[in-house]
Structures are given as structure tokens and as C-alpha cells.
């Protein structure tokens, strides 16, 4: 994948073909972000369908507007993260291919790998945060959204929960390759535990509201 190419420019068939190929990018990190994109898009759709019905109290209309703004922001962020994830892992691969015949080359290569791996860890961590935010948005829209779109709010929560947990896997697989003293090694696992608890609660709230609205 070229550095100036965006996954958003691909058709769905082309994207699926890239993911299914023997090329390591785009890979699971980008797929995680794209699952979050779908979740955010569905939250936005529920908001728009609810606005269209025009039967909400003023308090709900204001809340829906804020939820819609948040969903669109997270959608744009996660689209960017899908591309950044691919570029970050491509940088890791380039660093691993650097020459290592001399001590100087080995030192240069080691530094490049360390920096690239740290970047490839930070990106999915940001994806996990963004996906968790989408779950919260789904939990907020499910009780007040158009009842006819209740299942869409539920799908948004399920996809975004999966996105967060998928991104977490991409963080964890990189941590052993970072220097033990690196802040990410200490802080990322704790944050991932907190994010997992957050999405579990948000998913449960969303699905309970969906079940109630679906009767």
C-alpha cells in the first residue's frame, strides 16, 4: 500500500481483496478501525432517521445533534486511523529490512524498529479509544432514536465493541517488542483493561435499550 493511498478510495470489493491477499497491509489494525467506521456510520444514520421523523421533544433533539456530531467526528478519525495503521506497520517492515552487517547499521536498524513499533502500537491504541467512544454514542442514541432503527443502534454497539477489542489485540502483540522501560509497556495494558470495561458496559446498555424498544 502506497503511503499516499487511502483505503477510503477503494471499492468494497477492492478492500476485501487487499485484506484477503498475502500482503500484510492492510491488516487487522486497519480492519479494526474500519469496523469502528461502520459503527460510527450507523450511529449517525440512527440520528438522521430520528431527526427525519420530527417527533422528538426538544431535549432529545439537542442530545441527538450532539450524538450525531460525535459520530461524524469519530467516523472521520477512524477512517484516518485505518490508513495510519497500514502506514505504521509498513514502516515496521521497512525498518526490519534495513542492513545489519556492521555495528553502526545494527544500531540504526534497532532504533528504527523501536520507533516504528512504538508508532504501530500507538495507532491501534488510539483506534481502541475512538471505538470505545462510538460504543458510548450508541448507548446514548439507542433509548431516544427512532424505534424502527433500534437494531441499527445495536449493530453499531456490537461492531464498535469488536473494533475496540480488535484494536487492543494489535496493541498487545507489539508490546513485547518495545523497551521494557517504555511508558507504553506500563500504561497501555491498564488503559486497555479500562476501555474493555467501558465497552462492555456500553454494549450492555445499548442492547438493553434495543431490546426494550423492539418489544
CATH number at residue 77: 1.20.120.680
Number of domains the chain is built from: 1
Give domain status of residue 137, yes or no: yes
Q: Would you state the pLDDT for residue 1?
A: 60
Query: Which residues, 6 or more positions from 77, have their beta carbon under 8 angstroms from its beta carbon?
Result: 130
Q: Is pTM beyond 0.85 here?
A: yes
- pLDDT at position 4 over 80: no
d(CA 23, CA 118): 21
pLDDT in tens, 18-69: 999 998 889 999 999 999 999 999 999 999 999 887 777 778 889 999 999 9
Give domain status of residue 40, yes or no: yes
What interhelical angle do 150-174 and 183-214 show, nearest 10? 160
Q: Would you state the pLDDT for residue 16?
A: 92
pLDDT range class, residue 139, cuts 50, 70, 90: very high
pLDDT in tens, 14-24: 999 999 999 88
Give domain status of residue 92, yes or no: yes
Q: Cβ distance 49 to 148 under 8 Å?
A: yes
Residue numbers of the domain that contains 98? 25-214
Average pLDDT, the chain: 93
Residue 122's nearest CA partner among 195, 6, 7, 29 is 29
Amino acid at each position: 500500500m502506497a503511503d499516499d493511498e487511502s483505503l477510503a478510495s477503494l471499492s468494497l470489493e477492492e478492500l476485501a481483496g487487499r485484506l484477503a491477499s498475502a500482503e500484510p497491509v492492510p491488516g487487522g489494525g486497519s480492519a479494526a478501525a474500519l469496523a469502528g467506521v461502520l459503527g460510527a456510520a450507523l450511529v449517525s444514520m440512527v440520528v438522521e432517521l430520528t431527526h427525519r421523523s420530527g417527533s422528538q421533544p426538544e431535549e432529545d433533539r439537542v442530545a441527538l445533534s450532539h450524538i450525531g456530531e460525535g459520530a461524524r467526528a469519530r467516523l472521520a478519525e477512524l477512517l484516518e486511523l485505518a490508513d495510519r495503521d497500514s502506514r505504521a506497520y509498513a514502516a515496521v517492515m521497512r525498518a526490519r529490512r534495513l542492513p545489519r552487517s556492521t555495528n553502526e547499521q545494527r544500531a540504526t536498524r534497532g532504533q528504527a524498529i523501536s520507533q516504528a513499533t512504538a508508532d504501530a502500537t500507538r495507532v491501534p491504541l488510539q483506534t481502541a479509544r475512538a471505538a470505545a467512544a462510538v460504543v458510548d454514542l450508541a448507548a446514548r442514541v439507542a433509548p431516544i432514536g427512532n424505534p424502527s432503527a433500534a437494531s441499527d443502534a445495536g449493530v453499531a454497539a456490537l461492531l464498535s465493541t469488536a473494533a475496540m477489542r480488535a484494536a487492543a489485540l494489535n496493541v498487545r502483540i507489539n508490546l513485547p517488542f518495545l523497551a521494557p522501560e517504555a511508558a507504553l509497556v506500563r500504561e497501555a495494558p491498564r488503559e486497555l483493561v479500562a476501555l474493555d470495561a467501558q465497552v462492555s458496559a456500553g454494549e450492555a446498555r445499548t442492547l438493553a435499550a434495543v431490546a426494550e424498544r423492539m418489544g
